[in-house]
Amino acid sequence: ETTNACGSCPRNTFTLSGATSIDDCTPCQNSGEYAKPGSGYCEKCPQYEEFDDLTGGCVCMTSFDRIGGTCTCKDGFTLMGTSCSPCELGKWKNESGVTSCTRCEDTLKGGITEFEGSMSQSSCICPRGFYDGGEGKCVEVKEGMNSEEVGMKLESVFLDPGFWRTNEKSEEVRECPIPDACIGGNETNVCREGHKGHYCATCKDGYSMDPFQVCKKCTATVVDSVLTVVAVVLVVVLVLGLNYLMKKKFGREAKGKTVL
């Protein structure tokens, strides 16, 4: 018995008038188009999305993320061609979207980023051999400043051993009269242990300066005091003994000359 019952076209096919068999359904013709079962037309996924056979719906294309209901590029990424790519070295982006990344050069002349995909302006730093002087540009390091550190700012400049500066805002670096007293480093640690003050030339409380002008921790104890006293006594005894022997010797010689 013949029937005229209509059937539903399967997924990704359509018909405008209904179908009695799959042969009456027309496949979607254009790339990226899809149709739900029983659909009378094919439709295209939203921008940066593609049809997923497994889920039967649209999903974000590779490299895109669904943010706020739409597929777009995440922070630190920008649209390059048909996909999201990380911001290049020397650039950053702190919001989602397909807009371009911002150049470090626009806010910090000579600035770089250490990695691709930077997500904030704070990622812009000065390269080796330079420091951020706080005026929107990278400044070449001066003698006594470490030239191997990356991302230095004026207030955190690393000094080479043997150099010192008055404070963390000063660009004037001076050579220490006592090189061993200045160990280098940044503003939190430029003096050798036990040293302080201008040029690190003063000893802290509890320290005393040795013959080489290096501050050493005071270690006076009862034992040290006793040994010091004993040493002094021995020196006195030695001096007195030598004095006695010399007098005795010269006394004999004088007596012998008188007899003759």
pLDDT tens sequence across 223-243: 566 676 788 888 888 888 888
Each residue of 123-144: pLDDT tens digit? 999 999 999 999 999 999 999 9
Res 78 pLDDT > 90? yes
Give the pLDDT mean for 32-38. Answer: 81
Collect all residues with Cβ–Cβ distance below 8 Å to 113 and sequence separation of at least 6: 87, 89, 90, 91, 92, 104, 123, 124, 125
* Phi/psi-derived region of residue 184, left when phi > 0, alpha when psi is between -120 and 50, beta in every other case: left
pLDDT digits (tens, 9 = 90+) for 166-189: 888 899 999 999 999 999 988 667
> Are 11 and 56 within 8 A, CB to CB?
yes
Percent over 70 (pLDDT), the chain: 88
**In Å, what is the CA distance from 126 to each residue of 132, 137, 156, 166?**
6, 8, 12, 23
Q: Model-level pTM?
A: 0.66
Contact indicator for 36, 56 with CB cutoff of 8 Å: yes
d(C-alpha 193, C-alpha 185), whole Å? 13
The dihedral formed by the CA atoms of 176, 178, 182 and 187, expressed in degrees to the nearest 10: -40
Q: Which residues contact 185 (CB under 8 A, 6 or more apart)?
A: 158, 159
**Is residue 120 over pLDDT 70?**
yes
Over the chain, what is the mean pLDDT?
A: 87
> Is pLDDT larger for residue 111 or for residue 167?
111
- Say what the pLDDT of residue 260 is: 42
Under a CB-based contact definition with an 8 Å cutoff, are residues 130 and 139 in contact?
Answer: yes
Q: What angle do CA 71, 73, 78 make, to 5 degrees?
A: 145
Distance between CA atoms of residues 43 and 156, nearest Å: 59
Of residues 34 and 113, the one with the higher pLDDT is 113
Q: The tokens 């390091």 sit on which residue?
A: 141
Please state, in angstroms and rounded to a whole number, the distance separating the CA atoms of residues 253 and 232. Answer: 32
The two structure tokens encoding residue 143: 């003698």
More confident: 21 or 77: 77
